[in-house]
Amino acid sequence: MSEASLGIEERSMRIIESEIGTHDYTAPQWSIVRRVIHATADFDFAKPYRNGIIFSANAIESAFEALKKRRYIVVDVDMVLAGINKKSAAKIGTSVICNISNKDVINISKNENKTRSKVAMRYSSKEVDDGIVVIGNAPTALHELVNMIKEGVARPLLVVGIPVGFVSAEESKLELSKTNIEFITNIGRKGGSPAASSIINALMLMYINNLD
């Protein structure tokens, strides 16, 4: 098949494969990292020690367990929500929720002088249990989630924690990596909603393909 006859996505994936060279990821991990590179055009996400995606020992297996149970996917902001493949979620039978625009969350945020993302994560504690949390924008949401885990308030099966930014983003990821919860994250300032949503999309697609 000629390059011209391939779709844009497949051509993009071939370019990524040709430019990446060798890497230390397993095949399932690489399927996720490659999807992040595709979404961001940033090869730094494949660098092992700075900005590169890192996986806890059983991250992918824990994601599959949550999806098998049809548990919630809780996200930090509307941009992550918008980037998630709703058809895949519907096929699996899971629900994706984001409470950052919830009226109660907005009121609590104003009254307690806390960020909405922080309040929204605490507000979603019941849905977090045995589910997947995807954080791509707000370090305060990840900080709050780590606190909830330490308090025993919530115990997700997987945390995709990849917030972007110069303030607290790197620190929140380091905190996550020290918990006993399975995670997919990176060390550094890079991240963002496209990276986060591409990770959960890749996980859902892998899960669906394993069912077929």
Is the Cβ–Cβ distance between 136 and 161 less than 8 Å?
Answer: no
Half-sphere exposure of 123 (CA within 13 A, CB side): 23
Strands (E), the chain: 53-55, 73-75, 96-97, 132-135, 158-161, 183-186
38 flagged as catalytic: yes
For the range 82-91, what are the long-range contacts, defined as Cβ-Cβ under 8 Å and sequence gap of 24 or more? 82/193, 82/197, 83/193, 83/194, 83/196, 83/197, 83/198, 83/201, 84/134, 84/197, 84/200, 84/201, 85/201, 85/204, 85/205, 88/201, 88/204, 88/205, 88/208, 89/204, 91/208
Task: Look at residue 157 and give its three-state secondary structure.
Answer: coil
Catalytic site residue from 38, 47, 155, 189: 38
Q: Count CA within 13 A, CB hemisphere, residue 119.
A: 18
Active site residues: 38
